[in-house]
Amino acid sequence: MTQNALIIGASGGIGAAVAQDLETRGWRVTRLSRACDGLDIGDQANVDAHLEAQNGPYELVFMASGVLAAEGGAPEKALSQIRQESFEEVFKVNTFGVAYVLRHVPKLLPKKGRSVLAVLTARVGSIGDNNIGGWHAYRASKAAANQLLRGAAIELGRSHKEAIAVALHPGTVATDFTANYAARHSTVRPEAAAKNLVDVMLGLTPEDSGQFFDYAYKPIEW
Residue 174: per-residue pLDDT: 79
The CATH number covering residue 164 comes to 3.40.50.720
Give the distance, in angstroms, between the CA of residue 176 and the centroid of all CA atoms in the same chain: 17
Contact 54, 30 (CB under 8 A): yes
- Please report whether residue 69 resides in a domain: yes
Give whole-number Cα distances, 96 to 54, 87, 90, 92, 172, in Å. 20, 12, 9, 5, 23
- Please report whether residue 221 resides in a domain: no
- Please report whether residue 39 resides in a domain: yes
For residue 168, the enclosing domain spans: 4-214
- Please report whether residue 90 resides in a domain: yes
Sheet with 211-214, strands from edge to edge, namely 28-32, 4-8, 60-63, 115-120, 163-169, 211-214
Contact 10, 36 (CB under 8 A): yes
- Please report whether residue 220 resides in a domain: no
**Mean per-residue pLDDT for 66-81?**
93
Contact 165, 117 (CB under 8 A): yes
Q: Does position 181 have pLDDT exceeding 70, yes or no?
A: no
The helix (run of H) or strand (run of E) holding residue 166 is strand 163-169
- Give the predicted TM-score (pTM) of the model: 0.93
Condensed to tens digits (0 to 9), the pLDDT of residues 13-44 reads 999 999 999 999 999 999 999 999 999 999 99
- Please report whether residue 125 resides in a domain: yes
- Please report whether residue 190 resides in a domain: yes
Domain count within the chain:
1
- Please report whether residue 219 resides in a domain: no
